[in-house]
Amino acid sequence: MATELEVTVLEDLDAKRLLLQRDLELLDKQRAHVLARNAPIRRIVDDILAYIFELGAGTPDVVFVERVSSVSRHWRNVVLRTPSAWSNIILDRRIFPQASLQTFIRRTEVFLQRSQSAPLTLMLDLLPISFENDVQRLMDLLHDHFPRCAVLHLHCDANYFATIARPLSSLGPMLRELDIRTSHSNMNPVTLTLAEVAGCIPSLQSLVLSNLPPSCLPSTHYPALKHLQLHGVQWHFGNDGSGEWPWSATANLLDAAPNLESLVLNRMEFILDGTELLTPRNLVLKRLESLTFECMETRSIAIVLESLHAPRLKSLKMRYDPTKMGDHWCIHRLEAPCVAGIEELEVEGYAVYGSNLPWFLRTLAMVPHLKKLTISNPPLFLDSRFFDMMSTGPNWLVPRLNELVLIACANLHGQDLIRLLRARSIHGSGGGGGTSSSGGSSSPSGVSPIRTLTLRMPPWNMFEDDILSVLRLNVDELCHMPMEPYSSDRYLAAHSPMFRAPTPAPLLGGGTDGQVNAQQQTHHQIAAPPPWDAPPLLGTPFGDADMGFIPQFHQPPFTGQTATPTGSQSMVTSTSTGVRGSSRRRRSTSTASALWASMGLESELVQDVATVLLVASATALTTSIACYHLLSRHIRV
């Protein structure tokens, strides 16, 4: 055993060692402090540092200014002397929920004071917040500062928009961007008053209205307006005419913006009145280059195109609403000179088969200068006769076409594409001496070869390697990629305004208590399968989180072989109390599975049969909804 003297010596050594460690840490801190004072970032002059802070304040980081001001005393002094760094006021419900609205109001007061007279950027998401005294207090606080507002994004409930719109009457002198979106609730017409300068809104360059009619804007001029988006009544179900707006209001707005460059119309259903019933409007937009129609009926598209004169129009995008039954093609019936010079055409959701094919081909015959064609999500399949007509001369369709994009085209054969590419390549280089006006080589017949081919296919419909090798020999650039979740990109992209159905909850689970079956989870090695990962129906997948007819299973990665569905455990429907239909389906599925298992059938066969039955039931539901739309339209007429 150690003597008392040795113990005392060890304690003294430990104490000295601890003191040395503290001295070493202090020296390290002093060294780091000296290095920090001589760091290159401290050599940046305050003006450049302030400019960096201004750029950082415009990033999605809502609390960027607070982070910067707590780095050092010098940085805080620079930020406090930079009013533009405090001019971005963003109400993000993820950071400031409804319970923290008072905290956001106090923060807004500080920002308004420190921003001084700098132009403001206001982004207020008031849609999930109930209209109470706090919202009224916030609008009253911003009322005196709206004249210096340059950017305003406002999302609110339509029932309270009339109250919120009153403080906006001072907007206008410095306003460059205005984005107002309301909920889909019914609302009375509200007129938005903006402060005019010399009889116009001089600085407004971008305007977005959602669920608001164009008639809510003041009748004035918008000489600087370049980008316009009008979103009609969203989530409108049925065809009772409640979502139709007079075309005259939209036409007046377009007439007041002669310098418009891009126009997006989404779910805008127009009606004609007065003299417009006999004579179309003459709207001259000399700088319009891009025109997009999303989820609109063809009659409304016809109203716009027959009234529009846009000599510089280069891009036309048309996305059809699959929930509506009607004529898919109407452009060929119009004398629309504005579409004759377009170079890019994108059609999504339009039928290109059967009786609709001739009308689509006649539409292509109207655009001889077309250079890029995109066909996305055609219902059922893409008719093979389309490739026959595109491969036949001497009167070639779209002779200047050099880029073709095909997305989610069912029943697409590689031989059709090879025939198309070879025919245009042979005739495009056969003469050897001709040159088209677009700069690409062409034969005396005047057809250009396709240089770029883009294919986005579902994993189980990918081309084989031998087909891809032949395609690469006939194009300069080939982009062949699988689609991620089949239904989210095969029919409707998740970010598309056409995406109407909410994502349902995963259907993997079991037991009445809602707990996940551990044996099933171990068998599949997945915690939650991707939503909507089963082949959907024609058009939009209808349903919501409470509907249990959508099959769910995990789609394995593509390996060049036919994918086999997993076991019947992945078809177990999530239990929801009070839904008798779901419980009956679960009982019937369990009974059928037990019966088939007693007969010696494999679980994969049970999976396939159950999937077919579920898809058939959903198809019947979709057909009934389509018949409802068609019947309601005939009743109105």
Mind listing the pLDDT tens digit for each residue in 355-386?
888 888 888 888 899 999 999 888 877 888 99
Retrieve residue 613's tokens: 């039955």
Query: pLDDT value at position 287?
Result: 94
Nearest-CA neighbor of 91 among 100, 109, 104?
A: 104
pLDDT for the residue 130: 66
Collapsing DSSP to helix, strand or coil, 309 comes out as strand
More confident site: 118 or 530: 118
- Whether pLDDT at 620 is above 70: yes
Tell which wins on pLDDT, 630 or 255.
255
Report the alpha-carbon distance of residue 407 to residue 414 in Å, rounded: 14
Confidence class of residue 630 from pLDDT cuts 50, 70 and 90? low
What's the average model confidence in pLDDT over 518-537? 35
Two tokens at 566?
């997993």
User: In this predicted model, what pLDDT tens digit does every residue of 272-331 receive, in sequence order?
Assistant: 887 777 788 889 999 999 999 988 877 888 889 888 999 999 999 988 766 565 555 555
β-strand partners of 120: 149
Predicted local distance difference test score (pLDDT) of residue 518: 39
Percent of all residues in the chain with a pLDDT value above 70, rounded to a whole number: 69
Identify which of 107-111, 194-198, 478-482, 590-594 has the greatest average pLDDT.
107-111
Polymer length of the chain: 637
Q: What is the pLDDT of residue 546?
A: 36
Give the pLDDT band of residue 580 (cuts 50, 70, 90). very low
For residue 394, is the peptide bond before it cis, meaning its omega torsion is within 30 degrees of 0?
yes
High-pLDDT (> 90) share of the chain, % = 28
The reported pLDDT for the residue numbered 587 is 43
Query: Is pLDDT of 429 > 70?
Result: no
Compute CA distances 182 → 125, 155, 395, whole Å.
10, 6, 50
Do residues 232 and 208 lie in contact, with contact meaning Cβ atoms separated by under 8 Å? no
Give the residue with greater pLDDT, 452 vs 487.
452
pLDDT for 442-479, tens place per residue? 444 578 999 999 998 877 778 888 999 999 999 999 99
Note the pLDDT of residue 506.
33
- Least trusted range by pLDDT, from 6-20, 70-84, 95-109: 95-109
Question: What's residue 369's pLDDT?
Answer: 92
Q: Does pLDDT of 85 surpass 70? A: yes
Please say if the pLDDT value at position 489 is more than 70. no
Terminal-residue alpha carbon distance, the chain:
108
Residue 43 CA to chain centroid, in angstroms?
44
Biggest CA–CA distance in the chain, Å, is 116
Residue 60 has pLDDT above 90, yes or no: no
HSE value, Cβ hemisphere, 13 Å, CA-based, for 87? 23
269 vs 252: CA distance, rounded Å: 16
Spatial separation of the C-alpha atoms in residues 8 and 499, rounded to whole Å: 78
